[in-house]
Structure 1
């Protein structure tokens, strides 16, 4: 029970870190266009991070992304030590990338840590005919490392072109003022997508821990006789406070900000105007809502970066600072394997004491 409580605390700490690590995703453009001050922006984003709880519960109808995360590793290889080690690795990589100002994916950090710890637990990629990684679940997540920013880029380019054509005869000053107001709406929508996507990932990890405890320690009949997906649905009802705590934690983290990453996202990729901010945030929100509907965890960082690149490309290819973008791409590609390796090391250390 002590390790289970520790995991819950660590998961919520990770959720909090995820909030301030990813705060830049939903406020970078609104701060860089001076629609809101940084303090006003984080309060705005944090509020809508929590609103996402009600959207997921009452509009989507279930926590699909949390369910997906809980199934990333074959249930036979999930233990509390595996989950604990994965969380420690994810927190470590998240703090490092935050300190370095690198907009890496908290989502993929968590998944990489979970997988790496499970592989260390088994001592390989399979055991007794069972494969550690649930590939039908994990492969779409990996593909969306590239697909999500591409979707964001395409949608934001289309939205930008549509807006430019519709408003081509508008007074530039009045149009600019209108788009500054519209950024409040687009930023709120993106923050809802961010909360709905990222808070559920922590729910998935906590859910995996509680399900392991119910099945293997308590031997609760109502869990033993259910499928993995059914167990997660049961968990969200029995432990109703976990979804609420997850959404609150990410909102509090967002309020803490992440100013190094704000600078990278808001100014270093391309200069963003209010019009382009609306296009980028709207595109990011659409992509995140789509991914939640499909139950595929995606990176809000990847999504908004692709969207910002899209609005830059509409101006001209040279408007995008490709040197920065390529560095970000390398960070995205390395996140899962680096997190997995870190988790393996942590797991081996943990097993020396537990």
Structure 2
């Protein structure tokens, strides 16, 4: 039964990674597609490949997720808590994907972990949640907004005497690189989050300790599932990010993607903080758009997106708590 529970939990974790891929793939490529720098299929193929590669570039975020948010639960109850946490995250991902709302898969996972832990009587490491989740949740969008604004101002100043048509053609080519950087950062951040959950499941089942390195097979399967999910596409969310917030041109798309990629790499390597790709690229698009004029950004759409950010963690936590109640009654 313990082995069966472990296999089921890992399978659900990999399905979460798949939903993360098709839910968040739009984050990396929406601006490139909307500016016609890349065709949708080419963009998705490139993003899938970069996601796969990014998953192997570090393990700091995985360590934070596996050890820094909740006390490791034990036995079959612990596996039930992980299963419920993932269920909460998946359900919220599917709801927000259906409505085309670019909410955060990361915060859905964190909310699921907290909700399931509270329902299951496992201690939540509130300092870790505050330092690694809540503070970055507020700080990263503000940084994305400011840096996106400043990067776009710098581009406008540097290329102020350039031929506009030639400059746009150049930035359309440059967006291939900036979109690849975004997808690489997405793989670096988001594949590691699932790795952390799988490692926790292996620790609970006694197959691993936190002192051991992450098994290579865990990295491979998480990376592959994220990549497959990415290639499945996220067309609804792509429309929201690429067109509904602001109509982007190639220089703006390049500025937004460069900003997002830079922030994701910085937080992963320096702070080991699992930040939201969605938060960073959305705020960067807003900052870039505000250089045109403040009312060029469709702030009504932006407001709905921000509201989605705030309800993601509690909503996923409630679903996860309910899922644990069902698991507890049926199996524990």
Match of 1:248 in 2: 224
Deviations 1:170-222 (A, max 9, x none): 111110110000000100011110110001110111111111111xxx6x7xx
Match of 1:75 in 2: 72
Give, in angstroms, the shift of residue 55 of structure 1. 2.6
Cα root mean square deviation, aligned:
1.3
Give, in angstroms, the shift of residue 276 of structure 1. 0.4
Question: Which stretch of structure 1 is more off in the superposition, 75-84 or 331-340?
Answer: 75-84
Contact 1:186 1:281 in 2 (8 A): yes
Taking the aligned partners of 1:310 and 1:108, their CA distance within structure 2 comes to 22
Q: Tell me the matched-pair count.
A: 324
Match of 1:228 in 2: none
Match of 1:157 in 2: 149
Contact 1:211 1:235 in 2 (8 A): no
Match of 2:260 in 1: 284
Matched, 1:349 2:326: yes
Taking the aligned partners of 2:80 and 2:55, their CA distance within structure 1 comes to 29
Deviations 1:238-259 (A, max 9, x none): x220011111111111101111
Contact 2:55 2:189 in 1 (8 A): no
Deviations 1:66-99 (A, max 9, x none): 1111121012578100000111111111011100
Match of 2:212 in 1: 234
Deviations 1:17-58 (A, max 9, x none): 1000001101100000011111111001111111113432xx
Give, in angstroms, the shift of residue 345 of structure 1. 0.6
Contact 1:11 1:206 in 2 (8 A): yes
Matched, 1:87 2:86: yes
Structure 1's unaligned 5+ residue stretches are 57-62, 127-131, 224-230
Contact 2:56 2:219 in 1 (8 A): no
Among candidates 252, 260, 263, match of residue 236 of structure 2: 260
Contact 2:21 2:228 in 1 (8 A): yes
TM-score (norm 2): 0.95
Among candidates 9, 12, 36, match of residue 7 of structure 1: 9
Match of 2:188 in 1: 196
Matched, 1:137 2:128: yes
Taking the aligned partners of 2:56 and 2:219, their CA distance within structure 1 comes to 10
Contact 1:207 1:235 in 2 (8 A): no
Structure 2's unaligned 5+ residue stretches are none
TM-score (norm 1): 0.89
Taking the aligned partners of 1:321 and 1:247, their CA distance within structure 2 comes to 35
Q: Which aligned pairs between 1:1-354 and structure 2 lie closer than 5 A?
A: 1-56=3-58, 63-71=59-67, 72-76=69-73, 79-122=78-121, 132-140=123-131, 141-214=133-206, 223=209, 231=210, 233-236=211-214, 239-293=215-269, 294-354=271-331
Q: Secondary structure at the match of 1:234?
A: coil
Contact 2:56 2:188 in 1 (8 A): no
4+ residue stretches of structure 1 with deviation over 3 A?
Answer: none
